[in-house]
Every structure is written in C-alpha cells, then in structure tokens.
Amino acid sequence: MDPVIGALGLDGAGASGRQVAVVERGGGDATFVVCSLLGQALREGRGACLLLLHSSFGHHHNVGVKLGYNLRQLRAQGRVEVLEAGKLVEGGLAPSGGEPPGAQVDAWAPGLSASTDVFSGDKEGLARALFLDVRSSVQRLARTEGPALLVVDDLSDLLSLGVPVAGALSFLRYCRALPCGLTARAHADDDDEEQRVLAAALAHGADVCATVAGLGTGRSAQVSGTLAVRHKRCADAPRWNRQSLYHFRLQDRHVRLFAPGEVT
C-alpha cells in the first residue's frame, strides 16, 4: 500500500468520492501527495481529469512513470483528460462546453442555483471558461469510466493569472459540486493574504487536508519536509480531528514517511 494514501486514511472503502485539500507552506513541495492520490484513482480503474495551472503535463507524466503509471498511454486510452490553462488562454478562453456567454451558473453544476453569473469580467471569465471545460471533461469520463477524480494543480495559480479571489473561490465552489472526487493543491505564502484566504477556504471545505512544509531549520539529507494530516468529522458541528504529523523523505521512486525524531 502507498504510505501516503495510508497516512491520509484513504485506503478504505468509500474513499473514491472524497475531497482532499493539499496545501503547501514554507517552501514545501506537495507533488508527491497529488501524484499518490492520482495513482490510487488510476489503480482502482477510475478516470481522471487533470486541470494543470502550474506544472506541465510532461512533469506529471514523468512523476507518474516513477510511481508505476503512464499518463500518456492512459490519455490515449481515454481514461485521463488533460486541460492546460496556458493553452486555453492562448486559445482565447473559448470553453469546450459551447455555452453562450450569458449562461447561468445554475446550469453548470448539479445541485447549485444562482440568479446571476458570478463569473463576470475578463479575468473571472477565465475561471468560468476553465470550469466549463472541466465540467465537460468530467461528464465525458463519467459516461465511459464512471465517477472520476478531478485534480486541480495549482488553484493558487488562478490568482497569478489575474483572477480575483472571489472568482477563484467561485471556481472552487462549483468544482466541488461536480459528481466526482476532488484533489486540489494550493500554496500559501505567509506574506500573501490572497493565497492564505484561498488555501484556508480549500482546507475548510475538504474531507481531508494534507499540509506539506519544508523544514524550519533548513535542509537535511535525511528529511525532506513535514506532512500534517487532518480529517474532518461529519457531525452536527463539523470539526477537525487531532492533527497527525509526519516527516517524509523523497526518494527516486517512492516516499518514506516516519514519525518526527525517528531514525531514518
């Protein structure tokens, strides 16, 4: 079993529909968490939609090969759909769904309603176009593969593209309403209030939150960083369970997790 999946508590039945927040702090790199979750979905026979706002498809493919799956083959087989924000921007923000510019938000995602289109203006139009493409991809996968996993990597890069926080939060809200699992990564620099707001919203609405950070004391040959895991309790008053903390060491083809202070 993948130790990362075990640490997240997602190795049991019913894990396929979970929403997982992956937050990077203090120079941490959470690629290994995102790719472990993607690998689990593919091993279970589920399809996956990748919305790539930060790392390229080639980067994810190379990491996947090390973890035992081939994204290029899976994409050719129709099990993986890939949306790259850079190509959408170059294409003039034309969504594949074909909806007219005035389409209402309540027609985009099942179970939600709104009297007006919350994505308005040029920059929020990017978030809207991305969502429409995501929804179309998830729907195509559902027809052939069943409920899929949507991977958003990296939500914070919407801000870098000029989308305001309100537009990024709306994008996240409607992605959460789609009939699929969701894994979304965000990074949060201490000096960037907008990033911190977006990362906090992502973590608050997730079933599981994995926070990856670098070492506060600097680099180490034995430890690559820290992984903190929190689970939300489903009760009348939802609250977070006690946090589980791990150190991790990145190796060529796997990740080793261990308790702080444990000799590696």
User: Picking from 10-14, 48-52, 87-91, 236-240, which range would have the lowest pLDDT averaged per residue?
Assistant: 236-240
Q: Which pLDDT score, from 0 to 100, does residue 240 have? A: 54
Residue scoring higher pLDDT (73 or 104):
73
Q: How far apart are CA 258 and CA 256, in angstroms?
A: 7
Q: Judge whether 119 and 125 are in contact, CB under 8 Å.
A: yes
Model confidence at 108, pLDDT cuts 50, 70, 90, reads: very low
Q: Judge whether 8 and 206 are in contact, CB under 8 Å.
A: no
Residue scoring higher pLDDT (110 or 55):
55
Handedness of CA 213, 217, 223, 224 (dihedral sign): positive
Instruction: Quote the radius of gyration of the chain (alpha carbons, Å).
Output: 18
Q: Judge whether 89 and 122 are in contact, CB under 8 Å.
A: no
Residue scoring higher pLDDT (80 or 262):
80
Q: Which pLDDT score, from 0 to 100, does residue 119 have? A: 42
Residue 178: is its pLDDT beyond 70? Answer: yes
Please report, for the chain, the start and end positions of each structural domain, with discontinuous segments joined by +.
13-20+29-205
Altogether, the residues listed in the chain come to a count of: 264
pTM of the model: 0.85
Q: What is the mean pLDDT of residues 109-122?
A: 41
Q: What is the mean pLDDT of residues 40-68?
A: 91
Tell me: cis bond preceding 153? Omega within 30 of 0 counts: no
Q: Which pLDDT score, from 0 to 100, does residue 214 have? A: 84
Tell me the pLDDT tens digit for each residue of 120-135. 445 567 788 889 999 9
Model confidence at 15, pLDDT cuts 50, 70, 90, reads: low
- Give CA angle at 96 (90, 102), nearest 5°: 95
Residue scoring higher pLDDT (161 or 151):
151
Exposed e or buried b per residue across 173-187, where buried means at least 16 C-beta atoms within 10 angstroms of its C-beta: bbbbebebbbbbbbb
Q: Judge whether 123 and 167 are in contact, CB under 8 Å.
A: yes
Closest CA to 55 of 8, 95, 9, 22: 22
The contacts of residue 90 (CB under 8 Å, 6+ apart) are none
Mean pLDDT rounded to a whole number for the chain: 81
Q: Which CATH class is domain 13-20+29-205?
A: alpha beta
